[in-house]
Amino acid sequence: MENFIVSARKYRPATFDTVVGQNSITSTLKNAIKNNILAQAFLFCGPRGIGKTTCARIMAKTINCQNLSENIEACNKCESCTSFNNAASFNIHELDAASNNSVEDIRNLVEQVRIPPQVGKYKVYIIDEVHMLSSNAFNAFLKTLEEPPPYAKFILATTEKHKIIPTILSRCQIFDFKRIGVEDIANHLKFVAQNEHIEAETDALHIIAQKADGALRDALSIFDQLVSFSSANITYKNVIDNLNILDYDYYFKIVDATLKNDITNSLLILNDIFENGFDGQHFIIGLAEHLRNLLVCKDKATLSLLEVGENIKSRYAEQAKQADIMFLIKGLEIINHCDIEYRGSNNKRLRLELSLMQMCSLKSGALHPQSEPIIIPPQKKTENQSTKSIVSEPIPKPLTNEPQAVSQPTIVNEPKTVPVKDPEPKPVQKKTGPRMPGSISIKGNINKVEEEASTYKSTIHTLPDTDFTQEDLETQWSNYLSSEADQTPSFVNALRKYTPILKDNYLVEFKTDNKVIANDRQNINKVQAYLKEHLQNQKLSLQSVITLKEENNTAYTDEEKFDEMKKKNPALQDLKDQLDLEIEF
Ligand SMILES: [Zn+2]
């Protein structure tokens, strides 16, 4: 093991036939070589790690081979092939445009194109990540690409085809590389494992292949990591643990639970997933994938779309038998909806739990309304309460292991789709009995709403209503003023001027000559609340009365002075009117 060479390099394909998962491209290239109809320039497009550069190198080696096999493969023995294999060939030039994208870099390359090959027929220029070239570099390159010498071949590779300018596209033969299938990658890993004498479970290799998402290079480097972690024995378990992948097991268990209407267990499994540090969104995507896989199992024709290992395939087949197609489609709808709303949800966990509860309710009756009688209790309320809503009850909080904490779903669905477990309508007053886990009861919720309403009413009725006297009022009034003096001094000072008066029906009046104080509803309400509480009377209400200014008020403004003078001598008004005088303010 100490001489373990990174598989991605060691098992890089050396011939067209060993390229993984790109059969149509390799056979097209072989045909072109065979019929000697090679284009001047090629553009290899597709995601990273799927064999673009590898194919370009094989191509360069093959067209230079002096001893081509009948199968159009390089011999790997001739002078040209050995220099290629030792990375010593002068006929191949690679430029990584991601780091060498200046005009200068391209000029150097163009310079080299002028020199014909000393050995072999072709000089091959591979430009990786060609979309990264600066526009000046592109222009400098264009001339060469238009009229290249016959011995020069260009292979451009890119992950972003849309960034390539049309003038380049039109001069290239384009090949679109596709993501490599999980099965192909898994088989290749199996081949590598066998060659390296590494024990590896098929399911484990499938998980690696899935994680690599179509990129063989990634799959090989994950494989290498795992080999060093697991000392040459790759099991499903250690792949799951090391790659932090949500185990298939979780999905099988959760679907089992939803099929049995088992809300309790499905929420507990979800809790387990959260506790293991997995992301909710990740789980949603995985669950949707799982349902899709079950759906695919339903038909032999689509069975090939199931990209999993053999052992897991049989588990899928088993579970697919228990879930009918409508359950799977509805379940996918629910999960898809959850996926859309999850990110924006304020309570993400609840959003996900709700979806699981909905899935739990699918099997029992929603899909087979005829198989289970749905009886809505004959109370009038049911009609009003039957809107599709969630009656808010304490959310199943961070789940504990007590099942009752989570076994009380409070979804009120449309009555049509709600399975009511007990066919005999019971009086509304009866407490809901022990419910089947996962069943949904309208009656329970109605009871609850009614209980809450009656408690609320009774609270209102039992509010105190004690009699009190003018004296009591004055005592509490001054208590309030002294307690509040620091908080609202101006308001308190204004109130100090007058004594409140108790009127009929517990109306309390207080007088003020200040309009601002009289209309300060916020502070008045505060006083009122204080009095209500301390006099134990909820009917008490406080009202302000604005008084006129007192007679001996000093006149300040000119207008006030005029009024004062007028009172003493009414003729002044006549004088003012006849002379059409105005008071200056
Ligand atoms: Zn050769």
Per the model's pLDDT, the better-predicted residue between 30 and 1 turns out to be 30
Shared domain for 195 and 212, answered yes or no, is yes
DSSP state of 365: I
pLDDT class of 122 with cuts at 50, 70, 90: very high
Q: Using one digit for the tens of pLDDT, what is the confidence trace for 181-210?
A: 888 999 999 999 998 888 999 989 998 998
What pLDDT was estimated at residue 429? 41
Shared domain for 357 and 409, answered yes or no, is yes
List residues bridging with 510 in a β-sheet: 544
What pLDDT was estimated at residue 64? 92
**Residue 292: domain span:** 246-462
Mean pLDDT of 165-184: 91
Q: Using one digit for the tens of pLDDT, what is the confidence trace for 51-108?
A: 999 999 999 999 999 999 999 999 989 999 999 888 888 899 999 988 888 888 888 8
Q: Is the pTM value of this prediction over 0.85?
A: no
Shared domain for 322 and 236, answered yes or no, is no
Q: Alpha-carbon distance 512 to 462, whole Å?
A: 34
Q: What is the CATH number of the domain that holds 295?
A: 1.20.272.10
Q: Do residues 178 and 10 touch, judged by C-beta distance below 8 A?
A: no
Give the range among 5-14, 147-156, 258-267 with minimum mean pLDDT. 5-14
Q: What stretches of 376-526 adopt beta strand conformation (E)?
A: 389-390, 411-412, 501-502, 507-512
Mean pLDDT of 147-151: 91
**Distance from the alpha carbon of residue 39 to the mean position of ligand 1, in angstroms:** 21
**Distance from the alpha carbon of residue 319 to the mean position of ligand 1, in angstroms:** 53
**Distance from the alpha carbon of residue 63 to the mean position of ligand 1, in angstroms:** 9
Shared domain for 81 and 197, answered yes or no, is no
Q: What is the CATH number of the domain that holds 500?
A: 3.30.300.180
> What is the number of domains present in the chain?
4
**Distance from the alpha carbon of residue 85 to the mean position of ligand 1, in angstroms:** 10
Q: Alpha-carbon distance 331 to 333, whole Å?
A: 5
**Per-residue pLDDT for 269 more than 90?**
yes
Q: Alpha-carbon distance 186 to 190, whole Å?
A: 6
10 Å Cβ neighbour count for 153? 24
What pLDDT was estimated at residue 253? 93
Shared domain for 252 and 214, answered yes or no, is no
What pLDDT was estimated at residue 421? 43
Shared domain for 84 and 197, answered yes or no, is no
Q: Using one digit for the tens of pLDDT, what is the confidence trace for 490-541?
A: 778 777 777 888 888 888 888 877 777 887 888 888 888 888 888 888 888 8
In-domain check, residue 70: yes
What pLDDT was estimated at residue 333? 94
In-domain check, residue 278: yes
Please give the radius of gyration of the chain, using alpha carbons only, rounded to the nearest integer. Answer: 42
**Distance from the alpha carbon of residue 149 to the mean position of ligand 1, in angstroms:** 23
Residues 6+ apart with CB under 8 A from 30: 16, 71, 72
**Distance from the alpha carbon of residue 61 to the mean position of ligand 1, in angstroms:** 8
Per the model's pLDDT, the better-predicted residue between 476 and 422 turns out to be 476
Q: Which of 462, 489, 524 is the last residue of a domain?
A: 462
Q: What percent of the chain has pLDDT over 70?
A: 80
Handedness of CA 395, 401, 404, 407 (dihedral sign): positive
Handedness of CA 18, 22, 23, 28 (dihedral sign): negative
What pLDDT was estimated at residue 382? 39
**Distance from the alpha carbon of residue 75 to the mean position of ligand 1, in angstroms:** 4
3-state secondary structure at position 377: coil
In-domain check, residue 526: yes
What pLDDT was estimated at residue 554? 67
**Distance from the alpha carbon of residue 553 to the mean position of ligand 1, in angstroms:** 120
**Distance from the alpha carbon of residue 27 to the mean position of ligand 1, in angstroms:** 19
3-state secondary structure at position 474: helix
Q: What is the CATH number of the domain that holds 116?
A: 3.40.50.300
Q: What is the CATH number of the domain that holds 210?
A: 1.10.8.60
Widest distance between CA atoms in the chain: 135
Q: Do residues 288 and 336 touch, judged by C-beta distance below 8 A?
A: yes
For ion ligand 1, residues whose CB falls within 5 Å: 65, 67, 74-75, 78, 81
**Distance from the alpha carbon of residue 83 to the mean position of ligand 1, in angstroms:** 10
Shared domain for 137 and 220, answered yes or no, is no
Shared domain for 234 and 252, answered yes or no, is no
Pick from 327, 383, 385, 404: nearest CA to 358: 327
**Distance from the alpha carbon of residue 78 to the mean position of ligand 1, in angstroms:** 4
